[in-house]
Structure 1
């Protein structure tokens, strides 16, 4: 038994551990554990500590059929789980075991073998990336802004998309977490301080600049200031829900998925497939546009907050494999040089 003082200290440490887990991840873990506990109950299997063979059978069922409707608290199951979702479910179960004082089944020989098998069967290739919402080429960001109405929701959407885009292609969770206190007027624009990012969970802040554009329709500084004036928001969350019937601005922030849905609504009006776009379209669109406009890799990384060039290069390669290929025109140049020889 630990002394009371150490018990309280341990409880605070556990609470701090919970707080640093991103909200989306925490919700996903909770769903994974609920479904697992329900599955165990239906099959008369002990959920903790779970027998390795039962856990392997559960993972196999998820891989083949997905979650059973009887185990899902709400909504409809989406079919067989991919490799990433399977590993997340296993991680949630293992984490729950550790926190309850039981050995984690992660390194059980049967589970290690199951992980390897699922990796081969399901593959670990990244899922299809969302298309860019950029300012070069077709200039989809401009096209979307041209569609946005001037009602309350439209004023919010224009500010949200332009700020999220020019602010380094922010993730949807960073956009919806933005607060009035995070923005500061500076000479030549607005400074946006982002307290924590997905790429950096250590609590370091990222500061990005929002600078004016000559055309007010596409100016993030003007759009943000107008939204704050129209909404009357003085403090707290910047991008909030808007009542569809009355146009009243709500107290709660817009959910992260709301950013993706607004983008999808506008690209659908352009005749494009909304499934090809999402919140990440802002991020990929910023990176590819900055690259094509000649911005350096360090400058792009400073804006996006990426720690390494690998992921940034991934965006660039996916967006312009032919255009950026080192081999483009190389044979023609070599042949031309060869023909110059006497």
Structure 2
């Protein structure tokens, strides 16, 4: 992917053309693909907003007035604004372009992410950002507090062990079934892997040498959302999960390259890797086959389900985090707290 020039490092007069090209390459290689995609989406949105709001292109550096207007436009419910309100007219233009879903107030996390991207674009150009100005910083903090809301779960329900067993029961004998079984079991049993982590695995990331003697498969991931390249510890698969992965490697003929790949309608394994959306479709398909309602869970349910099951089984949170690779104890603790409060005897005082 070739990133837009707006978030590539600014040309430095002291650098030769070759050095400038090397610096640009360093930025691209040193930025996770998911972040590059987020940058691209945010740049498209910000550019369209500035054009609709002020009729001009982005400035480098951007003005404090534009930064403040961006915060104000996204910190209130515009459905309550007058039809000729400039912020509402801008939002409606973005909805028409398919860049905004509704006139509702932006979630604080969405606004924060877009501002963070805008800040990053300024840093890459070696420019000061308007979002560091005292009034703009204060407005941003007030907007975050004014729009504060309980975070929506990434999956409506966790895929706990009993739910996972229902999904696995739909995987029978085809190559696609074997692949889906391996994805579900690896995604759950290795600590609740994210979609990008699952599709990013290569055949050479899987070590089978100790399986015959110890029943263990080792998995090496290049990086995760919370770990950098070269700093991600090896993860382990045992028992049925290890067997399912080995079976997929065997029936899929996976000797090198991407570990998980599309399977054609003729049950032929293709060469390319799966897309992140494919994991969503696989989970959705298996939920439907298992007779569970539409929207019951998303791929993140594998992650939340692993931690919820660990709490239900009484596994120490530190042990669960060594597999889930959560950086924040507070984040992982939420799953344990949900289990603790549900099992609290004080909740049954009325019988």
TM-score by length of 1: 0.82
Aligned: 1:45 with 2:56:
yes
Q: How many residues align?
A: 320
Q: Is the 8 A contact 1:134 1:141 kept in 2?
A: yes
Output the CA distance in 2 between the equivalents of 1:14 and 1:273. 47
Query: Over residues 14-47 of structure 1, what are the superposed CA-to-partner deviations in whole Å (9 max), with x where a residue is unaligned?
Result: 5334333332222121111112223323432341
Query: Over residues 73-128 of structure 1, what are the superposed CA-to-partner deviations in whole Å (9 max), with x where a residue is unaligned?
Result: 98563224311111111111222122223321221234213312321232153222
Output the CA distance in 1 between the equivalents of 2:98 and 2:253. 36
Output the CA distance in 2 between the equivalents of 1:25 and 1:13. 18
Query: Shift of residue 62 of structure 1?
Result: 4.0
Instruction: Look up the SS of the partner of 2:219 in the other structure.
Output: strand
Output the CA distance in 1 between the equivalents of 2:302 and 2:280. 10
Q: Is the 8 A contact 2:222 2:229 kept in 1?
A: no
RMSD: 3.0
Query: Structure 2: which 5+ runs fail to align?
Result: 1-11, 79-87
Output the CA distance in 2 between the equivalents of 1:134 and 1:11. 48
Output the CA distance in 2 between the equivalents of 1:253 and 1:278. 20
Instruction: Look up the SS of the partner of 2:225 in the other structure.
Output: coil
Query: Cα–Cα, structure 1 residues 22 and 126, in superposed 2: closer, same or farther, change >3 Å?
Result: farther
Which of 256, 260, 269 pairs up with 1:249? Answer: 269
Instruction: Look up the SS of the partner of 2:271 in the other structure.
Output: strand
Output the CA distance in 1 between the equivalents of 2:341 and 2:315. 18
Give the alignment of 1:236-275 within 5 angstroms: 236-243=257-264, 245-275=265-295
Q: Is the 8 A contact 1:306 1:312 kept in 2?
A: yes
Instruction: Look up the SS of the partner of 2:228 in the other structure.
Output: coil
Which of 54, 68, 71 pairs up with 2:66? Answer: 54
Output the CA distance in 2 between the equivalents of 1:73 and 1:27. 22
- More displaced, 42-51 or 277-286? 42-51
Q: Is the 8 A contact 2:94 2:100 kept in 1?
A: no
Query: Structure 1: which 5+ runs fail to align?
Result: 213-218, 333-342
Instruction: Look up the SS of the partner of 1:209 in the other structure.
Output: strand
Q: Is the 8 A contact 1:133 1:140 kept in 2?
A: yes
Query: Shift of residue 184 of structure 1?
Result: 0.6
Which of 112, 117, 122 pairs up with 1:92? Answer: 117
Which of 249, 255, 263 pairs up with 1:228? Answer: 249
Output the CA distance in 2 between the equivalents of 1:155 and 1:12. 43
Query: Cα–Cα, structure 1 residues 18 and 239, in superposed 2: closer, same or farther, change >3 Å?
Result: same
Query: Shift of residue 294 of structure 1?
Result: 3.0
- More displaced, 73-82 or 102-111? 73-82
Other-structure match for 2:82? none
Aligned: 1:167 with 2:193:
no
TM-score by length of 2: 0.80
Query: Cα–Cα, structure 1 residues 320 and 22, in superposed 2: closer, same or farther, change >3 Å?
Result: farther
Output the CA distance in 2 between the equivalents of 1:247 and 1:103. 55
Q: Is the 8 A contact 1:29 1:88 kept in 2?
A: no
Query: Shift of residue 176 of structure 1?
Result: 0.9
Query: Over residues 31-73 of structure 1, what are the superposed CA-to-partner deviations in whole Å (9 max), with x where a residue is unaligned?
Result: 1111222332343234113222223323433454598575589
Q: Is the 8 A contact 2:158 2:297 kept in 1?
A: yes
Aligned: 1:109 with 2:146:
no
Query: Cα–Cα, structure 1 residues 310 and 229, in superposed 2: closer, same or farther, change >3 Å?
Result: same
Other-structure match for 1:148? 171
Output the CA distance in 2 between the equivalents of 1:256 and 1:103. 35
Other-structure match for 2:223? 196
Output the CA distance in 2 between the equivalents of 1:179 and 1:155. 17
